[in-house]
Amino acid sequence: MISLENRWALVTGSSRGIGQQIALGLAALKCNIIVHGREISHLDETLKELEKYGIKTHVVYGELSTVNGVDSIIEGVHKGPGSVDILYNNAAIQNKWKPIWEISNKEWLETFQINFFSVVTLCNTFAAKMKKRGFGRIINLTSGIKDVPQLSPYSVSKASIDKYSQDLAFELKGTNVLVNYLDPGWLRTDLGGPNGMFDVETVIPGALVPALLEDNGPSGRLFSAQDFKYLK
């Protein structure tokens, strides 16, 4: 596996939960971290935890629910490191639990804006620059959810992530920009709820595997973090 030392990683939704675990896991490998949250005040805990690793950090903030919010994240990156080597599209929401025929178009659109369209925008922005540099790792978080029609906007948005990641991987074939999608497992988080099968800490080290792939390694594939939870 490759070294991530002095690389820059942007992890969306890294103020808590899975994103925070990924940020800390990357920092332990000496990767510099661009921390993202909806508001700058939400990032204090993650930044404090990152201090012990002696890496560089940069903060970006913005709502993924709006085009302007996504643009502010991109602008924040450009004002800091300027580009990213590793992109984790982690942030996502679930719609409220209700019968599928009662889910409004507004709820569908909101879920897709955050879970899918913002991902496409960030990938489109940073993948082209990765291609020029001949290095990049893009990891889009997906879900193994199925047979839960009450959460259909969430599950369908995640299925879209899978197909988009495959298409982007094919577009970038042979460039050493690897695009993969990661299922973190059903975790006990604010989104996953208290009945999740795994503690959030079990997402590491498996969530880091797609970022550590050797040059010109697998791309367009699904990785499951829990498959690696006993890896040391």
Residues 115/157, Cβ–Cβ less than 8 Å: yes
What is the tens place of the pLDDT at every residue in 82-131? Answer: 999 999 999 999 999 999 999 999 999 999 999 999 999 999 999 999 99
55 belongs to a structural domain: yes
pLDDT for the residue numbered 196: 46
Angle at 61 between CA 57 and CA 65, to 5 degrees: 145
Total number of domains constituting the chain:
1
Q: Are 132 and 176 in contact (CB under 8 A)?
A: no
Is the pLDDT at 223 greater than 80? The verdict is: yes
Q: Is residue 171 part of a domain?
A: yes
Which domain CATH number covers 51? Answer: 3.40.50.720
Is the residue at 51 inside a domain? Answer: yes
Q: Is the residue at 89 inside a domain?
A: yes
Contacts of 135 (CB under 8 A, 6+ apart): 85, 176, 177, 215
Q: Mind listing the pLDDT tens digit for each residue in 157-200?
A: 999 999 999 999 999 999 999 999 999 875 555 565 565 455 76
With respect to residue 75, please indicate whether it lies within any of the assigned structural domains: yes
- Evaluate whether residue 211 is within a structural domain: yes
The reported pLDDT for the residue numbered 35 is: 97
Domain that holds residue 200: 8-228
Residue 149: its H or E element: none
Residue 2 in any domain: the answer is: no
**Block residue for tokens 């880091």:** 208
pLDDT in tens, 14-55: 999 999 999 999 999 999 999 999 888 889 999 999 999 999
| Residue 90: partners with Cβ closer than 8 Å, 6 or more residues away | 11, 12, 13, 14, 18, 19, 22, 141
Cβ proximity of 138 and 123 under 8 Å: yes
Residue 1: inside a domain = no
The Cα–Cα gap between 135 and 130 comes to 5
